[in-house]
Amino acid sequence: MTPAELEAARDRVVPDVVAEGLRVLFCGINPGLMTAATGHHFARPGNRFWPALHASGFTPRRLRPSEQAELVTYGLGITNVVARASARADELSDEEYREGGRILEEKVLRLRPRWLAVAGVTAYRVAFGDKKAMIGPQTRTIGETRIWALPNPSGLNAHWTLPAMAEEFARLRAAAEAEGWAETEG
């Protein structure tokens, strides 16, 4: 993909991968330019979402971004806090995050996933006005949907290694299983 093709994808919106009643709705911060250019969530090769998802046991094999539609068969989905694509999350304004949080809340109330997993605790803090949120389960719910803040899987988030990230995804998976997720699987 050329730099011009990536730049042409700026501000595009990538469709969600969703269905009603998902076990976990994963929520990115916003689409990156590679995601917007390809139409596939978490598409940049350095992004650790797909490896962490598999390493944590959510999927039986590592899916490619182009296979994102398969997530629904596992009771999983993907959306974003902010819909428009940018090169970096720091290009977004706090107002975009807050508006994205309002839209996300409406989406969650409509789709009713068991868990909303926001991949980026800083985005979660701004979108939902919870300055003290930490990685892990949150006390806040949206309707009956519980919320878990995950580390941002972007390769730019060097503070989190893939094994540590996969461990946090696995904690979420264990919490979902404790609520009967394994019994209702496929």
pLDDT at 20 over 60: yes
CA distance 91 to 101: 17
Determine what percent of the chain is predicted with pLDDT higher than 90: 88
Mean pLDDT score, 14-23: 96
Quote the distance between the C-alpha of residue 91 and its chain's center: 18
pLDDT at 186 over 60: no
CA distance 108 to 104: 6
Burial profile 119-144: b = 16 or more Cβ within 10 angstroms, e = fewer: bbbbbbbbbbebeebebeebeeebee
SS (H, E, C) the chain: CCHHHHHHCCCCECCCECCCCCCEEEEECCCCHHHHHHCCCCCCCCCCHHHHHHHCCCCCCCCCHHHHHHHHHHCEEEEECCCECCCCHHHCCHHHHHHHHHHHHHHHHHHCCCEEEEECHHHHHHHHCCCCCCCEEEEEEECCEEEEEECCCCCCCCCCCHHHHHHHHHHHHHHHHHCCHHHHCC
CA distance 65 to 123: 22
Query: Each residue of 103-127: pLDDT tens digit?
Result: 999 999 999 999 999 999 999 999 9
Catalytic residues, by residue number, are: 30, 41
Tokens of 137: 């389960």
Between 93-97, 102-106, 175-179, the lowest mean confidence (pLDDT) is in 175-179
Query: Each residue of 33-90: pLDDT tens digit?
Result: 999 999 999 999 989 999 999 999 999 999 999 999 999 999 999 999 999 999 988 8
